[in-house]
Amino acid sequence: MNTGYNFAYLDEQTKRMVRRAILKAVAIPGHQVPFGSREMPLPYGWGTGGIQLTASIIGPDDVLKVIDQGADDTTNAVSIRRFFARTAGVAPTTRTGDASIIQTRHRIPEKPLREDQIIVYQVPQPEPLSRLEPSRAETRRMHALSEYGLMHVKLYEDITRFGHVAISYDYPVMVNHRYLMAPSPIPAFDNPKLHMMPALQLFGAGREKRIYAVPPWTDVRSLDFDDHPFRAARAPHSCGLCGATDGYLDEVVVDDRGGRLFVCSDTDHCETRRAAGHTGADALAAE
Amino acid sequence: MSEDTLLSASRLTLRFGAVPALVEVDAELWPGEVLAVVGESGSGKTTLLNVLSGRLRPQSGVVWYRDPEGRLHDVHAMPLPALRALHRSDWGFVHQNPRENLRLGVTAGGNVGERLMAQGSRHYGRIREEAIGWLRQVEIDADRVDDLPRTFSGGMLQRLQIARTLVTHPRLVFMDEPTGGLDVSVQARLLDLIRSLVSRLGIAAVLVTHDLAVARLLAHRIMVMQRGRVVEAGLTDQVLDDPRHEYTQLLVSSVLQA
Amino acid sequence: MLRTDSLDKSFTLHLRNGLRIPVLHDVNLAVHAGECVALTGPSGAGKTTLLRSLYGNYRADAGHIWLRHDGAMIDIAAAPPRTVVQVRAATLGYVSQFLRVVPRVPALDIVADAARGLAPDVARARAEELLLRLNIPRRLHALPPATFSGGEQQRINLARGFIGRHPVLLLDEPTASLDAENRDIVIAMIRAAKAEKIAIVGIFHDTTVRDAVADRTHDVTPLQDAA
């Protein structure tokens, strides 16, 4: 542990400020709370919002898991895990069930989370209406007055043009029947996991300086039409390594002859299954 | 304010610096009635429209609106959410330039359906059906429902704006020079359309125009404004055929006869 | 049905330095149901002004215009605009010399729109019947009347005035640009209206028509310019 820094890098006053914002965010599910986002020792877009949240809630006894696109071994995940190992000395893990805090970029783990866990999302763009209404003053007013017709216009347009809602990630949701929320760029496949999740969900956008939250056991609905209900899409394959047919899959190009492999994007999920004896069609080829 | 007025304004005053935009203006509107506000540019007629519709606050005076349940609302004392809800449902606003109101990157169907979706409609098929019905009513081919407005002509854009506005069956529509900037032939078609829609649906309207012929064809009553004051008001044909005020006589005699 | 009481009307032309032109003074006129009164007098005497005042198109300076509307007597000269609109819709019909309508609307719709209290299809059938009676051939019914001849336009105007069956009907030169055949048809229509107890006030320059329909005349005498 590097002792040159305060515990978990941020000074205690900053943590208090962030915690106050978190408390407010939890009190108003789905509402974006501004906070004084600090300069962090990594660039915007690499998880500065998530890191500040994690730094503000982490304690010496916590067990931290960091994933990026579902994987524990990608650059972003490895860097952030090492950052907290050096500044807070906490125990890292890759096992979803063992973690007390899970910081994530672009996925929710396949294994259902528990009440004693907190999941922290890294958010690039907290405003779900940003691509439809350029004025922040106007979007704030729309949130305040719960005027979300425009978002449905976007869905209407998608169905008109493509026959279905063509949003595959960061699919907008209504939180607690009140606030429209961007769930961060998780695949729409993960949206149902947001609903009535036992764990506390925190969202941090460092560059945009916003924190928002979904408290445990909160109603979270993906926007849809009665005659075009929301569908959690996934590739119609099974995992090549563990044979799972329920998880979200990554498509991996394995050679330059068009060969490809579908594997679980959640590496912990895949490894747990393989350790239990499940195998997929491509397990040997990939070894 | 009498028992059944829809909108009633009294002593509206608003100055922009030294320029009087409205001076002690009174106005009343009954359900199903079309009121034209005429006058030259700068006479305060558009300001009046904005004040009546709650988009602009007067320095003094009050605007009352009676909702379908008969309750009176002070338009400028209403909470913003209520006023905006009113503008999305019971009221409509037709701008001179349809591009100000339409979403040019959204299909015609989406433009017409937006107010329905804002009111909570969540059935794609029905929203689309309703949109097509309204496009027909404003004489736009049903097969243009998936086209973007930027491929529409000026007259079509204006008709699309009207469909978008009327889809929620408003009781009161504010129109700011709805036929301005259109070719004469297109204008005639639009006038006919507005006239028949307004009379068939029983919509009340406040219509701002500088074109006396438009006022004559559409409005039951007329208000003539000059420098922020109403100089003459009454039945449309009375005021236009038997103008009393000097300014009205000047306006009427200045119209070119085709 | 209709009675004026010391009716005065003058015009003030502000653009001519406030020139005041008195036209009507102390006009007392009474018309009963089923009666036709012809306004007479030289050109410029104020016949049309009187007729327009009766319709509420011109505003009287003094006096009253009493009209039976909806079971009560109403003073057109003092009624608020909204009441005048209602009176015109229910009680008072007017056939002007010139047809003024929204461009692009077919002749048949113009006439059918003027019908009162009829279902749309009934109104259209009735409009068609009236137009045919007035010798407007079917092929013209679907066309807007802007391009019609003067006589045709006038007959559209007449059909529009008669379809409403208002208890009081004002006619301004209804036969001015009609040929003899159509003129006779109009005479028959006016007589039929009288038989239906409709009160009529009209200006008829054509003495044949006047003699054929009018029960009596009311002379409008020209006033001297006061200016």
Given this model, what pLDDT does residue A273 score?
Answer: 93
Is C84 in Cβ contact with B235 (below 8 Å)?
yes
Q: Which residues of B touch C59 (CB under 8 A)?
A: 234, 238, 242, 244
- Provide the CA B42 distance to its chain's centre, in angstroms: 18
Given this model, what pLDDT does residue A80 score?
Answer: 94
pLDDT in tens, chain A (287 residues): 656 889 999 999 999 999 999 999 999 999 999 999 999 998 998 999 999 999 999 999 999 999 999 999 999 999 999 999 999 999 999 999 999 999 999 999 999 999 999 999 999 999 999 988 889 999 999 999 999 999 999 999 999 999 999 999 999 999 999 999 999 999 999 999 999 999 999 999 999 999 999 999 999 999 999 999 999 888 889 999 999 998 999 998 888 988 889 999 999 999 999 999 998 887 665 44
- Does residue B118 register a pLDDT over 70? yes
Q: Which residues of B touch A228 (CB under 8 A)?
A: 124
Residue of A70, A206, A247, A270 with catalytic role = A270
Is C85 in Cβ contact with B235 (below 8 Å)?
yes
Is A147 in Cβ contact with B128 (below 8 Å)?
no
Q: Stretch B58-62: mean pLDDT, rounded?
A: 96
Q: How far is A175 from chain B (nearest CA, A)?
A: 16
Q: Which residues of C touch B235 (CB under 8 A)?
A: 56-57, 81, 84-85
Q: How far is B149 from chain A (nearest CA, A)?
A: 13
Given this model, what pLDDT does residue B174 score?
Answer: 96
Q: Which residues of B touch C14 (CB under 8 A)?
A: 245-246, 249-250
- Are 3 or more Cβ–Cβ pairs between A and C shorter than 8 Å? no
- As a dihedral over the C-alpha atoms of residue B96, residue B98, residue B102, residue B103, rounded to 10 degrees, the angle is -120
For an interface test with C, which of B6, B26, B34, B192 has the most C Cβ atoms less than 10 Å from its Cβ? B192
Q: Stretch B227-241: mean pLDDT, rounded?
A: 93
- Pairing outcome for strands A33-34 and A210-214: antiparallel
Q: How far is A167 from chain B (nearest CA, A)?
A: 16
Q: Name the residue among B118, B124, B128 with its Cβ closest to that of A149.
A: B118
- Pairing outcome for strands C19-27 and B229-235: unpaired
The helix (run of H) or strand (run of E) holding residue B95 is: none
Q: How far is B13 from chain C (nearest CA, A)?
A: 24
Beta-carbon pairs below 8 A across chains A and B: 56
Q: Cα separations (Å) of C64 from A195, C45, C54, C91?
A: 75, 20, 10, 17
- Does residue C73 register a pLDDT over 70? yes
Instruction: Characterise A65 by phi-psi region: left (phi > 0), alpha (psi -120 to 50), beta (else).
Output: beta
- Catalytic residue check, A30: yes
Is B191 in Cβ contact with C56 (below 8 Å)?
no
Given this model, what pLDDT does residue B186 score?
Answer: 81
Question: What is the SS3 assignment for C154?
Answer: helix
Q: Which two tokens stand for residue B209?
A: 């125009």
- Catalytic residue check, A264: yes
Other Cβ atoms closer than 10 A to C42: 10
Given this model, what pLDDT does residue B196 score?
Answer: 84
Q: Which two tokens stand for residue C201?
A: 């006030």
Question: What is the SS3 assignment for C10?
Answer: strand
Q: Name the residue among B80, B119, B124 with its Cβ closest to that of A156.
A: B124
User: How does pLDDT run across B196-218, given as a tens digit for each residue?
Assistant: 888 888 899 999 998 898 999 89
Given this model, what pLDDT does residue B1 score?
Answer: 54
Residue of A204, A242, A247, A280 with catalytic role = A242
Residue C170 — very low, low, confident or very high, per pLDDT cuts 50/70/90? very high
Query: C13: exposed, middle or buried (C-beta count within 10 Å: 0-12, 13-18, 19+)?
Result: middle
Question: Do residues A178 and A30 lie in contact, with contact meaning Cβ atoms separated by under 8 Å?
Answer: yes
Residue B189 — very low, low, confident or very high, per pLDDT cuts 50/70/90? confident
- Chains with 3+ CB–CB pairs under 8 A to A are B
Is A228 in Cβ contact with B122 (below 8 Å)?
no
Is C11 in Cβ contact with B235 (below 8 Å)?
no
Is B117 in Cβ contact with A156 (below 8 Å)?
yes
User: Which residues of B129-226 form beta strands (DSSP E)?
Assistant: 172-176, 204-208, 221-226
Contact map slice: C 86-125 vs B, CB within 8 A: 100, 102-105
Chain B's closest residue to C12, CA to CA, is B244
Is A153 in Cβ contact with B113 (below 8 Å)?
yes
Q: Which residues of B touch C12 (CB under 8 A)?
A: 244
Q: Which residues of B touch C85 (CB under 8 A)?
A: 33, 220, 235
- Catalytic residue check, A89: no
Decide which of C177 and B65 is more confident: B65
Given this model, what pLDDT does residue A287 score?
Answer: 47
Is C103 in Cβ contact with B188 (below 8 Å)?
yes
User: Mean pLDDT for chain B?
Assistant: 91
User: Mean pLDDT for chain C?
Assistant: 88
Given this model, what pLDDT does residue B185 score?
Answer: 78
Task: Tell me what percent of the residues of chain C surpass a pLDDT of 70.
Answer: 98
Kindly report the length of chain A.
287
Given this model, what pLDDT does residue B121 score?
Answer: 93
Given this model, what pLDDT does residue C223 score?
Answer: 74
Question: Do residues C124 and C112 lie in contact, with contact meaning Cβ atoms separated by under 8 Å?
Answer: yes
Question: Do residues A163 and B128 lie in contact, with contact meaning Cβ atoms separated by under 8 Å?
Answer: no
- Catalytic residue check, A277: no
- Catalytic residue check, A4: no
Residue C167 — very low, low, confident or very high, per pLDDT cuts 50/70/90? very high
C168: DSSP letter: E
Q: Name the residue among B188, B220, B249 with its Cβ closest to that of C104.
A: B188
Given this model, what pLDDT does residue C41 score?
Answer: 87
Angstrom distance (rounded) from CA B48 to CA B22: 7
Is B122 in Cβ contact with A160 (below 8 Å)?
no
Given this model, what pLDDT does residue A258 score?
Answer: 85
Q: How far is C108 from chain B (nearest CA, A)?
A: 15
Question: Of B250, B77, B59, B68, which is closest to residue B168 (Cα–Cα)?
Answer: B68
Is C81 in Cβ contact with B191 (below 8 Å)?
no
Q: Which two tokens stand for residue B202?
A: 């029983």
Question: What is the SS3 assignment for A156?
Answer: helix
Given this model, what pLDDT does residue C224 score?
Answer: 61
Residues contacting B63, CB < 8 A, separation 6+: B7, B8, B9, B12, B51, B52, B54, B74, B75, B76
